[in-house]
Amino acid sequence: MSGGIDAGRLRHRIKIETRSTTLDDNGGEVETWTEIGNGWWAEIRPKRVAESMFSDDRSAVVTHEIATRYADSLAALTESSRITYRGRTFYVTEVIEVYELQRELRIQATERR
């Protein structure tokens, strides 16, 4: 069992946002993103690439694992969250608290290209 995440692996500065929807004056949904963390050190590792079809648009879906230190403020991190890094956007699909020791989070995410 690990004593925590190795700081040397954390070389990416990420921003974490969570999605919420509200209704506009006409009753339509408006999507907004609220920042829950900025400047977090993380490790981003690609895991798999797959081709996907949306309507007539072909795109690559790349899955990643993003590791970061645990923090109480990241409790809001869910499948309705996204992570941005240098203009790239990763949509969270799963959040795992490693060994449930409040030391490390491993986040599974997808990036569409």
Domain ranges of the chain: 7-112
Residue 72: partners with Cβ closer than 8 Å, 6 or more residues away: none
pLDDT by residue, tens only, the chain of 113 residues: 455 677 788 999 999 999 999 899 998 999 999 999 899 999 999 998 776 655 566 666 779 999 999 988 887 788 999 999 999 999 999 998 888 888 889 999 998 76
7-112 maps to which CATH number?
A: 2.40.10.270
CA distance 74 to 30: 24
- Return the pLDDT at 13: 96
Report how far residue 72's alpha carbon sits from residue 57's, in angstroms, rounded to the nearest whole number: 39
At 59 the pLDDT is 62
SS3 108: strand
pLDDT at residue 112, rounded to an integer: 74
User: What number of CA atoms fall less than 13 Å from residue 13's CA on the CB side?
Assistant: 3
> pTM for the complete prediction?
0.79
Cβ contact 67:104 at 8 Å: yes
Closest by Cα among 45, 43, 41 to 13: 41
